[in-house]
Amino acid sequence: MLIQSDELLNFLQRCRDRSLGSYRDVYCPVWPAARDSPHAILSPLRGTDRPALDGHRAVDPVKLLFYRVRERVAPFRADLAASLLTGIKACDVRALELLDRALVNEDFADPAYRAWRERTTVLSFDCTDAGPTCHCTLVGGKPFAETGFDANAARFGDHYYLSAATSKGEALLDLVRKNSRVDTVHNTIPAAVEARRAEMTAKVQKQSEAFARSDATALLRSAPPEGWKEESAACVGCGACTHICPTCYCLILNDESGPGDFVKVRSYDSCQWHGYARVASGASPRPRIDERFRHRYLCKLVTMKAEFGTLGCTGCGRCTDACPGGIDFRKAVHRLMANAEGGRPDAAAR
Amino acid sequence: MKPNPYDAIPAVITETIDETPLIRTLRLRPERPLAFRTGQFIELGLPGLGEAPFTPSSSHFISDSLDVTIMKAGFLTDHIHKAKTGDKVGLRGPFGSAYPLEEFENRDLLILGGGCGLAPLRSLFLTLLDEVHRYKSITFYAGAKTPQDCPYKDAFPEWRKHPKVKLVRAVDVVPPGETWDEEVGVVTVLLAKLDIDPSSSPAVVCGPPVMMKFGTRDLLRLGFREDRIYLSMEKKMYCGIGQCRHCLMGGYYVCKHGPVFTYAQIKNEEGLWD
């Protein structure tokens, strides 16, 4: 289905107005009021907002909506109102696929995350641009989503090509069809969309070239200690990287019960913090900053891959953007992998 | 629909027993049954203050009440030591792996423990005693820093009377003014007197990391098999269900895949004894 970009924007605004009656909330990356800011912020869509549907991913990871910084999880009462999450890009869709496995599985279901996912329709958008730290192609991703969304919008000249992947996505497209002017096209992806996607993929590949490395990330385990010390030299252990990472979900469970009830609140924790794994005796398995730094890299690139079948890094580049020490995740992994393979970085790049 | 894993079962403190100046046992009556298998752990929370993982110290055959032995080590446990009979706590669990009792059947079992590691071992020991006909013998070596630091003082004389039980205690030091008529030295020195066949016997070890490390080393030297040394690992465990990721040790979550592991399972994991 094809829809003109203005028509789709108009539809999303009307979703928010609730005149269509289907979604109570619409979440979307929006341009902040300061017009010169290049950073779109993920937020509830308001009438005055300018949605940022194209371009690359927003500053905020989607977990901020699904898995909040601080949230009561027991007793838990699910909010059942349907909501629409739109404008998110492939790296964030991939993060949702990982969190789905981590937070709702046969052993366990996080009540808040599950409720959010069930009531939310995800309309993802193809990237039409790459941010300076974007590197999805380095971690086996693409700048457009192929799975994990309910519906996807691919930019196509002045139009979007909309396709649904789930029944929630079908319902959304039905709603668009009923309330907007659309052109029905055949179900295969138009050649122009394919061409644009190839162009975007090439762009990300090109800017990632300098950081190329082998896919055998398990080798990181054997990177020498000096390598980790070198890469973490500028790390101050603030935890910005973990808090902004779309797949980090480490939690602290606090008891905030009052008299006569039992209340549990979960909030984010960071493996980069000194007290993270410290036990009552005072012992910590990773007392040094370079050990905690290494733990995070291994978690993203080795442990999560073994656990969930997908890397814990989606190539969004947020950790690099957020690091006050200026540590570039791509560069660090590139060099560590080269060291682990027994060569110098230059050798690995060749 | 899966139950909410964060929901707590309210329990009432029916008795408090001060074992040592730092160790206290709470006897709890949960509002709903909380059936655990010995070796598993629970999360015990004080309303408004927090929760932490503890291993029950009573037999798993007792279902209407539950003992938990807790050492004063920080903010939460200080408050637990101030709790009174009648106070309410919240329990979640049980979580993790249990001691594989079937592997101990018809064998001479060694239990080696120190300090607050004696809490889960008391649970194991009492559970074994409840079905003692299943086991050939139980050698229980218990260590503490000083005579004053020995928990379960009243119970030891009783336990000793059992014909299948050989129970020896050691303290690291006897400070002036205290008396002690058992062994002196770190608990692993007791292994020199062991009179069971190491090659066919299972051994259970629980205690401070340094004791576990050297205890395991000594057991291996004696000829115990790597897959018959059972370790109760301690890591920070907020959630109990492999979600908070704090207890990740190599590829294992201690809370979910442990806390009871064989040495063979985890010997190559990084940070094993840290």
pLDDT digits (tens, 9 = 90+) for A49-100: 889 999 999 999 999 998 999 999 999 988 888 999 999 999 999 999 999 9
Instruction: Give me the helices (H) in B100-208, please.
Output: 101-104, 118-130, 155-160
Residues A12, A122, single domain; the answer is yes
Q: Are residues A304 and A189 in the same domain?
A: no
Residue with the larger pLDDT of the pair A174 and A157: A174
Chain B residue numbers touching A303 (CB-CB < 8 A) = 248, 251
Which of A145, A299, A305, A139 lies closest to A208, judged by CA? Answer: A139
Nearest CA-CA partner of A228 in A290, A319, A272? A290
Q: Terminal CA-to-CA distance of chain A, rounded, Å?
A: 44
Same domain, A54 and A174: yes
Q: What is the pLDDT of residue A350?
A: 33
Same domain, A170 and A313: no
Give residue-wise pLDDT tens across range B228-274.
999 999 888 889 898 999 999 888 999 999 999 999 999 998 878 87
The predicted model gives B220-225 an average pLDDT of 96
Q: Which of A147, A174, A208 is the last residue of a domain?
A: A208
Specify whether A196 is located in the same domain as A221: no
Same domain, A59 and A105: yes
Total domains present in chain A: 2
Nearest CB among B4, B238, B248 relative to A252 is that of B238
Q: Note whether A140 and A223 are same-domain residues.
A: no
CATH code at B101-232: 3.40.50.80
Q: Compare A12 and A36 and report the one with higher pLDDT.
A: A12
pLDDT band at A344 (very low <50, low <70, confident <90, very high): very low
Q: DSSP H helical segments within chain A, as ranges?
A: 5-16, 63-66, 90-103, 111-119, 167-179, 191-208, 225-231, 240-244, 289-298, 304-308, 318-322, 329-340, 345-349
Q: Would you say A77 and A260 are in contact if contact means Cβ atoms under 8 Å apart?
A: no
Contacts of A299 in chain B (CB under 8 A): 245, 248
Asked whether the beta carbons of A52 and A31 are under 8 A apart, the reply is yes
| Alpha-carbon gap: A316 to the closest alpha carbon of chain B (Å) | 22
| Alpha-carbon span A113 to A60, nearest angstrom | 17
Nearest CB partner across the interface for A278, out of B46, B49, B236 = B236
What is d(CA A80, CA B147) in angstroms, rounded to the nearest whole number? Answer: 59
pLDDT at A224: 93
CATH 3.40.50.2000 for domain B9-95, yes or no, is: no
All residues of chain A having their beta carbon less than 8 Å from the beta carbon of residue B5 are 108-109
A224 and A101 in one domain?
no
Same-domain check for residues A171 and A221: no
Is residue A127 within 8 Å of residue A29, measured between CB atoms?
Answer: no
Domain match, A59 and A197 both: yes
d(CA A225, CA A125): 41
Is the pLDDT assigned to residue B1 strictly greater than 60?
no
Query: Which residues, other chains included, contact A312 with Cβ-Cβ below 8 Å and sequence gap of 6+?
Result: A98, A245, A247, A248, A299, A300, A301, A303, A304, A305
Which of the four pLDDT bands, split at 50, 70 and 90, describes residue B148? very high
In terms of domains, do A171 and A230 share one?
no
Orientation angle between helical segments A5-16 and A167-179, nearest 10 degrees: 100
Q: Domain range holding A325? A: 212-349
Question: Is A229 in the same domain as A94?
Answer: no
The CA distance from A73 to the nearest CA of chain B, in Å, is: 7
Question: Which of the four pLDDT bands, split at 50, 70 and 90, describes residue B131?
Answer: very high
Assess A255–B contact: CB distance below 8 Å, yes or no.
yes
The separation between the first and the last C-alpha atoms of chain B, rounded to the nearest angstrom, is 38
pLDDT for position A343 = 47
Domain ranges in chain B with CATH number 3.40.50.80: 101-232
d(CA A200, CA A203): 5
Size of interface A-B (CB pairs under 8 A): 107
Segment A174-180 shows an average pLDDT of: 93
Q: In 3D, which of B94, B51, B93, B56 has the Cα closest to residue B74?
A: B51
Mean pLDDT of B137-161: 94
CB atoms within 10 A of CB A145: 25
Identify the burial level of A248 via C-beta atoms within 10 angstroms of its C-beta, where 0-12 means exposed, 13-18 middle and 19 or more buried.
buried
Residues of chain B with CATH 2.40.30.10: 9-95
